[in-house]
Amino acid sequence: MFRKNSIKRRVFFVGAIIVLTVWACKDIELDDCVRPINSNRGNVLFIIADDLGLDSSPCYDHNSILPNMPTLESLCNDGVVFDNVWSSPMCAPTRASLITGKHGVRTGVVNIPDQNTLPVSEQTIQQYIEEKAPNTYCQSIIGKWHLNNEVNDNDYPRKMGIPYFDGLIRGTLDSYYKWRRTVNGNTKNSNTYATTANTNAAIRWIEDRGTSPWFLWLAYNAPHTPFHLPPNDLHSQGNLPVGEADIEANPVPYYHAMLEAMDTEMGRLLSSIDPTVLENTTIIFISDNGTPKEVLREPFLPNQSKGTLFQGGINVPMVVAGNGVTRRGEREQALVSTTDLFPTIAELTSTGGPVINDGYSFKGLLAGETIDNKRHYNYTDMVSGWAVSDMDYKLIVKIDGQKRFYDLVNDPYEKENIIGTTVDSLEQKISELEWVGITIRQE
């Protein structure tokens, strides 16, 4: 089981923040959801980082200089680290795939919400859970939404079946220290560092649930731009200058500081949860896409960042620990798509699965079960094209018809496009992968 005491020790130095700030917004509308106690139902804490690639992720051996993230490392040590998770290359399409279990080609969300708002006709995982188990789970989304244009509707989350929303409707903050916080359609100014404000809201929401089963979707904005330096007690990067010119000249330490601040606040959140509640909680941590080009580092090439179909844009970190996870400190090579979180969370809440929409549940992998892994290919898409892989090989197809083909076993960082230089057997593989992608897009 997740080692709660170790996290308490790591974040003791910020414990006072709970007392000082968790009730800072008492005037914000609260969630009064209370459900009957159901010992057969586990809680799910789903944490999403914004723009965290493998090159800056602890538990992944892609770079030797990493941010100090002991909370995340503890989750890795106590759970399962997944090596072959694919997201979309951009945040809104990934969030749409997570919340619907569908690829972008199905929902139409292949770009940012200014062009592609998630239709209210789509069923969210929250609506699914409530439909299958009425009045059983308390549910909320705290943090970043980014599935509709803020100009259109600040109350869009509730129209998508989210009972309680507290966070940012837009995709980006103008400032982590001065931003517009929306709670169930009501928007007010917040001067609390955004990562801390999200954590405060999550702590309060979980505490108010008592012993009711709950599903919390906690989507941090960090470490997305702007690269604003967090409060010094939340990170270990030191007293960095805060001028825009300094940040632009060397953004990596600011990016790492934001990751460390998120990790510290994650630790504070986990430390605040009652031990009996935490024991019954499955914790899922994932990123929505790869690293932004400003801070992408070797061994990924500069053009393989967020916003591209290269591994640096779509191969994201994920770790699962806590209730129901008996594999500790293990790695999992199975192919996983962000669409798979929908049926997996449905199974964790005993409301459905194992196959829903485009997703295949990986719940059995958490306990080392021998399962029929129906995901033989990973697929993702964006406005400019799509990609498909069988783990060993990967095909990228652009909308204009251009193709790129990579041997991921011998060339994991996609340095050599081998289209036109392959033997007959690989030409057959290209045809196979293209057929898979076309089939998915036509279903």
pLDDT at 47 > cutoff 60: yes
Q: Is 357 left (phi over 0), alpha (psi -120 to 50) or beta?
A: left
Q: Domain 4-382 carries which CATH code?
A: 3.40.720.10
Instruction: Inform me whether the pLDDT recorded for 5 exceeds 70.
Output: no
Among the listed ranges 115-124, 132-141, 178-187, which one has the minimum average pLDDT value? 115-124
Percent of the chain whose predicted confidence (pLDDT) is above 90: 82
Tens of pLDDT, residues 253-311: 999 999 999 999 999 999 999 999 999 999 999 999 999 999 998 899 989 999 999 99
250 in the Ramachandran plot: left (φ > 0), alpha (ψ -120 to 50) or beta?
A: beta
Q: What is the distance between the alpha carbons of residues 13 and 56, in angstroms, rounded to a whole number?
A: 24
Q: Residue 6: is its pLDDT beyond 50?
A: no
Determine phi and psi for 33, rounding to 5 degrees: -65, 125
Query: Given the structure tokens 């995340």, which residue do they identify?
Result: 72
Average pLDDT over residues 133-154: 91
Sign of the CA dihedral running 266, 272, 274, 277: negative
Q: How confident is the model at residue 321 (pLDDT cuts 50, 70, 90)?
A: very high
Q: What is the per-residue pLDDT for 7?
A: 42
Section 320-328 average pLDDT: 97
Which of these ranges, 33-37, 124-128, 134-138, 215-219, has the smallest mean pLDDT?
33-37
Quote the pLDDT of residue 64: 82
Q: State the burial class of residue 132 (Cβ atoms within 10 Å of its Cβ: 0-12, 13-18, 19+).
A: middle
Which has the higher per-residue pLDDT, 424 or 215? 215
At 37, the pLDDT band (50, 70, 90 cuts) reads confident
Other residues' Cβ atoms within 10 Å of the Cβ of residue 187: 14
The backbone region for 337, taken as left when phi is positive above 0, alpha when psi lies in -120 to 50, beta otherwise, is beta
Over 80: is that where the pLDDT of 80 sits? Answer: yes
Beta carbons within 10 angstroms of residue 245's beta carbon? 7
The whole-number pLDDT of residue 152 equals: 66
Average pLDDT, the chain: 91
Identify the CATH assignment for 384-443 out of 3.30.1120.10, 3.60.60.10, 3.40.50.970, 2.60.120.10. 3.30.1120.10
388-409, pLDDT tens digit by residue? 999 999 999 999 999 999 999 9
* Residue 28 scores a pLDDT above 70: no
Determine the angle formed by the axes of helices 252-272 and 70-78, rounding to 10 degrees. 60
Domain ranges of the chain: 4-382, 384-443
> Angle of helix 252-272 relative to helix 194-209, nearest 10 degrees?
20
pLDDT of residue 177: 97
Higher-scoring residue by pLDDT: 14, 359: 359
Cross-strand pairs, 141:
165, 217
